[in-house]
Structure 1
Amino acid sequence: MSENHLFAGVDDGNRETKIVLSNGLRISTPSRAMSGLSNQISLNGAKSGVFSYLTQDGPFSVGNIEAAEDTAYDGYPTSAQNRVIVAHALRQLGLNQSHTLDIVTGLPLKRFYLNGDLNKDLIGRKKKNLKIYDVKGVDGYAPAVIKRHDVLSEAIAGWVNYVIQRNPEGKLSIVKDRALERTAIIDIGGRTLDIAVVKDWVLDRDRSTTDEIGMIKIVTALKDRLYDFFNGVDLTDEQVEQALTTRQVKVKGKLHVVGEIVDSATMSVLNSIKATVMRQLQKSGDIDTVFFIGGTSEFLRPHLADWFEQQVLLEDAAFANAEGMLKYAEFAMGQK
């Protein structure tokens, strides 16, 4: 196979886009874009860090933009906004029109399935969306060409990552003992919480679900609390992110410690997450392993201890879905 043809696992979430390539490269980048062309100007001749793209649905800008548009809506997986964010992430990995890709992306569990069967309409529209080759950089950049595109359910992609293992030579194989275990995957992402209970390639629908809880809810709760704390000052996305990651924020030139506010916002959402998890997995005695995955699991790591005796929080929890998608792409589309 040509070195310019690659497999890719693309976890195109509402808060972050995580991509793993078959050549070993990977990236996690914010799912941030705004409609229109950026009007930011670099005063010292340096690159501004903002990239603008044209699509059949209008122009978009990504990168170091001041205000991004919401991605937490049902139409995001089939939108031009999604196409631009994924194309830009692949650009950051060094790919362009000289590269071709076979990729796998994901959908939340309850959107991947509909009435106990595959949601073929949405899956089909998502597959087609990223293959619309209309994203062009205003600087002349043309993105990598997606030749084949398949879709997995989020959380189940994390299970695939556990069941399909790679040996030191790179060959993939199914670990039968792992496949035969009853495994629960708790995937805490940007917009959604996915819970999947799987054994021998069969999903237990009664104990599997999707709930609208994730990091975006924590950020929203934090922004509301900071608005009250600063007496009606509406902080920017950049300021809220600074508060979330450093527990400090600069407002009107002064640095404020806001760790207690961050904790309050976090716990308000964490309690909802735990209530959903315990409701779905209240009968967990027959479950061999409970895995926590997803980028928000990394953020919540200190709060997730001892929920279940048989739980595991992976060291690379944020990339578990993307890794599973890559393995599925290689296994199903290429080498076996």
Structure 2
Amino acid sequence: MDTWLVTGGAGFIGSNFVQLVRRLKRARVINLDKLTYAGHLESLEPLHDDPDHLFVRGDIGNVELVFYLLSTYKVTTVVNFAAESHVDRSIDGPGDFVQTNIVGTFRLLDAARHYWNGLDGDAKARFRFLHISTDEVYGSLGPEGFFTESTPYAPNSPYSASKAASDHLVRAYHETYGLPTLTTNCSNNYGPYQYPEKLIPLMILNALEGKPLPIYGDGLNVRDWLYVVDHCEALLRVLESGRVGETYNIGGHNEKTNVDVVRTLCRVLEDLAPSRENPAMKATGARYEDLITFVPDRPGHDRRYAIDASKIARELGWRPQETFSSGLRKTVAWYLENREWCRKVTEGVYDRTRLGRA
């Protein structure tokens, strides 16, 4: 069995990916995560007794540690999820994003390059470095068109700028040193284990507590929504058959305005946890949708993202399995069943107040 080093594997997408890899028994996993506010061992609880999943607390910027893990466990693939990822936090504190997303990726790449250079024959030919990135590096679309793999980069937030820089470093390490890299740029993920600072889990928890559902600006900013397990399956397909040095866009084919997302979520909640039966709502007689509140927009808020995922469909045969309706219903059900997880990962760390006012 191959051994993969997965960085950021206790975060949202990373933990879903690691769980999928182990369910399918695709590889042994060395899971390296710094356990910042958004990385939690609770997200790896299903792997508690799995002997082929080893968790290591550490920083991708620690070159000695990374090289030790690569060489000791004879790693065949690096999958890099490690990143600061919340736009609002990048507005308040861009330094952490530069340090992790740019400097950290550089040091991870350098450790991987030195390790890969020391491999022989088939091991060297089979090695892969997969870097997971975002569609936000492309900037903002008008009312028409889609991001393709050849769209010029035009990041508008400190977060997206830091991810754009990391993407360029990955490309440079392939072009300059020959490191066998792959890069993916995905649309907005949602699903289990997403930290409640992001739109969908934040709205779920606020609604259940009868709190306002704040929507930035006019609520008409558009995002393409991708169910996290679909994303993880796409990543496996890229690792199996992706062409070295290539970039693949991964999207869910689910363009929605932010206000439509929240309204749809409220309807799902009414079905699964009716407001009339919710003690936090019964006193007022309000429905979840009545909690929607429009607030001043975020600085530099991109108007629309939309992914053209035809390349990965054409070359690798991947298409998302979940509609937005089916994926959102699964997501709401998960959060309803895992309120304790939400409490543990936010208690004393994040009170769901607004960030990123600039």
TM over 0.5: no
TM-score w.r.t. structure 1 length? Answer: 0.29
More helix by proportion, 1 or 2?
Answer: 2
More strand by proportion, 1 or 2?
Answer: 1
